[in-house]
Amino acid sequence: MSLPKREVEELRPWVERTVKKVLGFSEPTVVTAALHCVGKGLDKRKTTDQLRPFLDDSAGGFVERLFEALEESRSSRGKGDKSRKRDIKIKQMMEAATKQIEERKKQLSFTPSVPSSLDQMSRLLGASAGGGVGSTLAPSQAASFMNDAIEKARKAAELQARIQAQLAMKPGILGAIGNTGPHNVVALANLHAMGIAPPKVEVKEVNKPTPLILDEKGRTVDASGKEVELTHRMPTLKANIRAVKREQFRQQLKEKPGEELESTSYFDQRVLVPPSQRPRKTFKFHDQGRFEKIAQRIRTKAQLEMLQNEIAQAAKKTGIQASTKLALIAPRKEIGEGEVPHIEWWDSYILNADTKFEELELFGVTNLVEHPAQINPPVDTDKPVTLGVYLTKKEQKKLRRQTRREGQKELQEKVRLGLMPPPEPKVRISNLMRVLGTEAVQDPTKVEAHVKAQMAKRQKAHEEANAARKLTAEQRKEKKVKKLKEDISDGVHIAVYRIRNLQNPAKKFKVEANASQLYLTGTVVLHRDVNLVVVEGGPKSQKKFKRLMMHRIKWVEHSSKRDDTDADNDTKRNNKCWLIWEGTAKERSFGDMKFKQCPTESMARDHFKKHGTEHYWDLALSHSVLETADD
């Protein structure tokens, strides 16, 4: 149930105090959200969900306390309504009594501005008794009126004093005690004139805010002159609150442990405690000769590159290694749009830089196009492909019925010719009475035993037939191998993968185990930055192995403290697998999957040359060199 705005505002001070106790500082955003939930009449669960982004785990306890305070305020509000009605009734009685006194004063010719003292009353009574001019009342009648007025004034003053004492506890209802109206002044003056002591009322001191005192420098000080630190405004956003808490936690960490902490048995002297203040920044001077060493290193590197180029040129001329052509690939120069280079970059290795194309003598080059002779593929793929026949559910059921009908006809013919006895009726417990009829009525126990024996006989025959059809362990193994092994008579599918780093034993095991399980053959050559994996097998096995290499295995490895060098760390972080080539061949070139460690390029190429597949290595090496040139 929703609350009126006045009652919600009455809860505001308590909510502010509770928020300050939970968070450690005042937070207007949380106070407004809590009062909004209470004003809308939300239940505890919804209120907790609304306040959880502000209070985190303490939202549940805060909501419980909020609803307890709400119940207490409702119960106290009922009592306050009763006291308020009583105060209003007393006020109405006071106004009626004051009105009657004023009317009596007017009848007795009293002026309202002059206070009614005892001497004036005596003079008026004497004047009325002497029968002065203007007096129309008898002395006895005037005396009775005066006594009644004095008694009512005394009672009214006592009643007002009690009311003011009660209202002093609630300054917001009818004003403070000091703000006495004109009727209360008249009543107190009448009591004083009649010699009646007014009732004593204990006035409760109202707490007032401390006055703001500033000294000549503009600082806030107290009454004694000491400087006072004012409460700073705290952040309201959740991110700012977390930043303040984080900064406070860092300050606590920077504080040095006290002597009491060092004296305990849990204090470890080996742990370094950071200083409370950040050390002052100073100049950092480079060591003498540092930049000279860097320059010398750059010059040495340039000389080494020049020497490598000369060696590569010599190797190219002598034909030591075919792959050295790719080692000198230079980055392509920026060529403007429409500009034709003098010599293409792939021709620069054959022609000298100073050679002009017009001066070249080209032998055997004509304007005719040469068409190379066509070679038949090693595998004949022109065989007609036959598709299987697929039947619908209805056609499958019809075919089954026809097959069973043919079998039943054959059995019926044998029975009719006397070649085999007629089959026994298939009796079950459910069709017992319908099949046997009168026999079941004559001796039901015997018939039931006969039926159960027949059912057990049929079950046994069924199990024996299943056991006879069951495959042996060797047959099951052969069936599984036949399912995995594919027909490669039409050609062997081959895939070549290059991996930058294959030193991890777990990844080696995955490659070898999956190749053996999929009945793939091939080899793995381990060389720096050129780890080659060649697999041969059927198309289905190749598809599964390709998914293993390209997706399932995570080749990138995170560095750890046990890594050897920075170069190895960089290689493992940037590790990757590439599919260099895939195609078909007429037959397999390798046996079971085996690993081969080749420290030099010549050893790796010789290993592939033994199996007649050295082009695999040349392709992978060129891919590696091109990748290095792009980097």
CATH number at residue 89: 1.20.1390.10
Q: Which of 341-355, 422-436, 582-596 has the highest mean pLDDT?
A: 582-596
Does the residue 466 lie in any domain?
no
Check pLDDT > 50 for residue 131: no
Q: Are 201 and 164 in contact, with CB atoms under 8 Å apart?
A: yes
Residue 496: CB atoms within 10 Å: 22
Same domain, 508 and 402: no
pLDDT classification of 379: cutoffs 50, 70, 90: low
Check pLDDT > 60 for residue 58: yes
Q: What percentage of the chain reaches a pLDDT higher than 90? A: 26
Same domain, 499 and 609: yes
User: Region 581-610: what's the mean pLDDT?
Assistant: 92
Same domain, 530 and 409: no
DSSP per-residue codes, 123-154: HHHHHHHHT-TT--S-HHHHHHHHHHHHHHHH
By three-state DSSP, how is residue 580 classified?
strand
Same domain, 412 and 495: no
User: Region 185-198: what's the mean pLDDT?
Assistant: 50
Which has the closest alpha carbon to 518: 500, 540, 547? 540
Does the residue 76 lie in any domain?
yes
Q: How many helices (H) and strands (E) does the chain have?
A: 21, 7
Give, for 15, the enclosing helix (H) or strand (E): helix 5-23
The pLDDT, as a whole number, for residue 138 is 52
Contacts of 471 (CB under 8 A, 6+ apart): 479
> d(Cα 527, Cα 500) in Å, to the nearest integer?
9
Contacts of 580 (CB under 8 A, 6+ apart): 496, 497, 498, 532, 616, 619, 620, 623
> d(Cα 160, Cα 166) in Å, to the nearest integer?
10
The pLDDT, as a whole number, for residue 136 is 45
> d(Cα 537, Cα 591) in Å, to the nearest integer?
11
Same domain, 510 and 407: no
Check pLDDT > 50 for residue 173: no
**What are 236-291's pLDDT values in tens digits?**
678 888 888 888 888 877 665 565 555 666 777 777 777 666 777 888 888 888 89
Does the residue 147 lie in any domain?
no
pLDDT classification of 486: cutoffs 50, 70, 90: confident
Range of the domain at 24: 5-93
Which has the closest alpha carbon to 616: 509, 496, 451? 496
Higher pLDDT, 97 or 325: 97
Q: Are 163 and 91 in contact, with CB atoms under 8 Å apart?
A: yes
User: Region 522-546: what's the mean pLDDT?
Assistant: 93
The pLDDT, as a whole number, for residue 318 is 58
Boundary of a domain, candidates 93, 118, 134? 93
Does the residue 117 lie in any domain?
no
Higher pLDDT, 378 or 598: 598
Rounded to two decimals, what is the model's pTM? 0.38
Same domain, 506 and 403: no
User: Region 622-627: what's the mean pLDDT?
Assistant: 86
The pLDDT, as a whole number, for residue 20 is 72
Give, for 582, the enclosing helix (H) or strand (E): strand 577-585
Same domain, 410 and 532: no
Q: Which of 185-199, 346-360, 381-395, 462-476 has the highest mean pLDDT?
A: 462-476
Boundary of a domain, candidates 64, 93, 122? 93
Same domain, 401 and 517: no
Question: What does the mean pLDDT of the chain come to?
Answer: 76
Which has the closest alpha carbon to 525: 435, 618, 604? 604
Check pLDDT > 80 for residue 154: no
Does the residue 162 lie in any domain?
no
The pLDDT, as a whole number, for residue 119 is 47
The pLDDT, as a whole number, for residue 37 is 79
> What total of structural domains would you count in the chain?
3
Q: Tokens 């003598």 correspond to what residue?
A: 361
The pLDDT, as a whole number, for residue 134 is 39
Q: Are 499 and 555 in contact, with CB atoms under 8 Å apart?
A: yes
> d(Cα 608, Cα 598) in Å, to the nearest integer?
11
Check pLDDT > 70 for residue 419: yes
Same domain, 413 and 513: no
> Among the listed ranges 50-59, 79-88, 376-385, which one has the minimum average pLDDT value?
79-88
Q: Which of 208-222, 345-359, 536-550 has the highest mean pLDDT?
A: 536-550
> d(Cα 177, Cα 487) in Å, to the nearest integer?
110
User: Region 522-530: what's the mean pLDDT?
Assistant: 92
Boundary of a domain, candidates 53, 77, 93? 93
Same domain, 409 and 495: no
> Among the listed ranges 224-233, 464-473, 566-575, which one has the minimum average pLDDT value?
566-575
Does the residue 36 lie in any domain?
yes
The pLDDT, as a whole number, for residue 60 is 75
Check pLDDT > 60 for residue 327: no
Q: What percentage of the chain reaches a pLDDT higher than 70? A: 68
The pLDDT, as a whole number, for residue 262 is 55
Residues in the chain: 631
> Among the listed ranges 127-136, 147-156, 296-305, 537-546, which one has the minimum average pLDDT value?
127-136
pLDDT classification of 443: cutoffs 50, 70, 90: confident
Does the residue 595 lie in any domain?
yes
Higher pLDDT, 501 or 355: 501
Same domain, 397 and 525: no
> d(Cα 624, Cα 329) in Å, to the nearest integer?
12
> What's the one-letter identity of residue 210?
T
Higher pLDDT, 623 or 183: 623
Domain at 523, CATH number: 3.30.70.100
Residue 255 carries which DSSP code?
A: S
Same domain, 498 and 601: yes
pLDDT classification of 374: cutoffs 50, 70, 90: confident
The pLDDT, as a whole number, for residue 167 is 59
Helix crossing, 44-55 with 28-40: angle to 10°?
A: 170
Q: Are 18 and 33 in contact, with CB atoms under 8 Å apart?
A: no
Phi, psi torsion values for 18, nearest 5 degrees? -65, -40
Does the residue 329 lie in any domain?
no
User: Region 538-559: what's the mean pLDDT?
Assistant: 90
> d(Cα 529, Cα 535) in Å, to the nearest integer?
19
User: Region 206-215: what's the mean pLDDT?
Assistant: 68
Check pLDDT > 70 for residue 51: yes
> What's the one-letter identity of residue 415?
V
